[in-house]
Amino acid sequence: MKPMKVEFGSKTLDLVLDGSTIINIEKELRSSLLGIMVSGSGGMRMPRLGEILTILHEANTIHGIKKADMPGLYDEYIASGGTQTKLFEIIQNLMEAAGFFESEDESSEKQDGEKEESLV
């Protein structure tokens, strides 16, 4: 998986959601990653800020950024015009790349009937 570069305050994060990262996030949040993004009725819900910062920290592959640094970096990110909604979109994109959701390309192919189902 190719890391997603995200400017977050004064730092650049390289984000990847691989299997071990997902397991670490789920252990720390005590919930499935999908569970914090989907409401009980099946719609998308905005995770709490602490959950967002945990996901970003755990998915970051650049060493030297501590979990304790994340709230300050968030404040810098917001002060420079960033939004919590944009962070939610970034996490959705990471989850799509990690196989949680079908990409729009895959979804449109299925609608056109061009792609067969496979477990591999």
Q: Is residue 117 part of a domain?
A: no
Instruction: Give pLDDT, residue 38.
Output: 84
Residue 10 lies in a domain: yes
Q: Establish if 49 belongs to a structural domain.
A: yes
In a domain, 88, yes or no: yes
Is the pLDDT at 118 greater than 50? The verdict is no
Q: How far apart are the C-alpha atoms of 79 and 70, rounded to whole Å?
A: 14
Q: Please indicate, yes or no, if residue 120 is contained in any of the structural domains.
A: no
Number of domains present in the structure of the chain? 1
Q: What's this model's pTM, rounded to 2 decimal places?
A: 0.83
* Mean pLDDT computed over 59-84: 96
Q: What is the dihedral of CA 53, 56, 57, 63, to 10 degrees?
A: -150
Mean pLDDT of 73-99: 95
* pLDDT for residue 107 is more than 80: no
pLDDT at 86 over 70: yes
**pLDDT value at residue 108:** 52
Judge whether 71 lies within some domain. Answer: yes
Instruction: Supply the range of the domain harboring residue 43.
Output: 4-112
Maximum C-alpha span of the chain: 48
Tokens 């591999």 -> residue:
120
* CA distances (Å), origin 109, targets 93, 94, 96, 98, 99: 19, 21, 16, 19, 16
